[in-house]
């Protein structure tokens, strides 16, 4: 089926996920297959981001979360990290106006203190420019690691308990979730990982507790609306039980 036909079927089915998260994987392999350096794959992956954002809007998603740059990625060669920071600045400069016009609210989540000054300034601009939009919330996870996020949440709770503002015996799951970067977002309904790898790579460990998983063999630069819609259609055919017995 074409992308348009898939989108029509999604709308007929009705049960559209509110929140889709994607681990964007395969840029390096895509470049290697073409005998090109890894940054070439990352640049090509920027086109896929636009395709998926526009597809998410058309499908009616409320939240789209993209795992763009992990804390572990800082350990990559300096030249590749520099290229990624430059691409982040370029993406924001190129896409901010279009995102704003489409009603997309952009949030950038992670340890942003490690960004270069230029990248941090670019992040601040796009977040400020789009903060009042409400058609789609786009969460870009940059310099992010879920274990660090969980430790950060635990420290916040511990500090409040030490200061007497919180009783440790009364801490519940809601209190913990409220200290995460995603405090005001629903948990993802669907997680897509591209390139065929079958792991979650330290991404949203708390939030993915009951998320449906979809593994796509398509490398990220080749991932577009059609592939997004195929994943949503697959999700619509599943029965989510959240630990309960089937209805």
**208, 20 contact by CB (below 8 A):** no
The string of DSSP letters for 126-164 reads HHHHHTT--SEEEEEEEEE-HHHHHHHHHHHHHHHHHTT
**DSSP category for residue 121:** H
Q: Mark 198-223 as b/e (b = at least 16 C-beta within 10 Å).
A: eebebbbeebbeebbebebebbbbbb
Distance CA 220, CA 181 (A): 25
Distance CA 189, CA 163 (A): 36
Residues assigned a catalytic role: 25, 73
Find the Cα–Cα–Cα–Cα dihedral 63, 173, 71, 217, rounded to 10°.
-50
Distance CA 61, CA 16 (A): 7
Give the length of the chain: 247
């Amino acid at each position: 089926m074409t992308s348009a036909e898939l989108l029509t079927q999604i709308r007929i089915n009705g049960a559209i996920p509110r929140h889709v998260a994607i681990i964007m994987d395969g840029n390096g392999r895509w470049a290697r297959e073409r005998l090109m350096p890894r940054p070439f794959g990352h640049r090509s992956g920027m086109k896929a981001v636009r395709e998926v954002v526009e597809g998410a809007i058309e499908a009616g998603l409320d939240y789209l979360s993209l795992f763009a740059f992990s804390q572990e990625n800082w350990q990559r060669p300096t030249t590749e990290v520099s290229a990624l920071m430059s691409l982040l600045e370029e993406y924001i400069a190129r896409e901010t106006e279009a995102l704003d016009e489409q009603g997309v609210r952009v949030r950038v989540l992670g340890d942003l203190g490690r960004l270069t000054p230029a990248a941090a300034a670019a992040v601040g601009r796009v977040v400020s420019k789009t903060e009042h939009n409400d058609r789609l919330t786009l969460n870009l996870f940059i310099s992010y690691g879920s274990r660090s996020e969980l430790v950060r949440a635990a420290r916040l709770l511990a500090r409040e308990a030490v200061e007497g503002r919180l009783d440790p015996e009364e801490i519940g799951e809601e209190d913990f979730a409220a200290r995460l970067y995603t405090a005001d977002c629903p948990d993802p309904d669907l997680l897509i990982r591209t390139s065929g790898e079958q792991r979650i790579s330290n991404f949203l460990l708390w939030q993915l507790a009951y998320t449906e998983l979809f593994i796509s063999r398509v490398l990220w630069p080749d991932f577009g609306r059609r592939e997004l819609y195929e994943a949503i259609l697959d999700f619509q055919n599943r029965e989510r039980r959240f630990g309960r017995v089937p209805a």
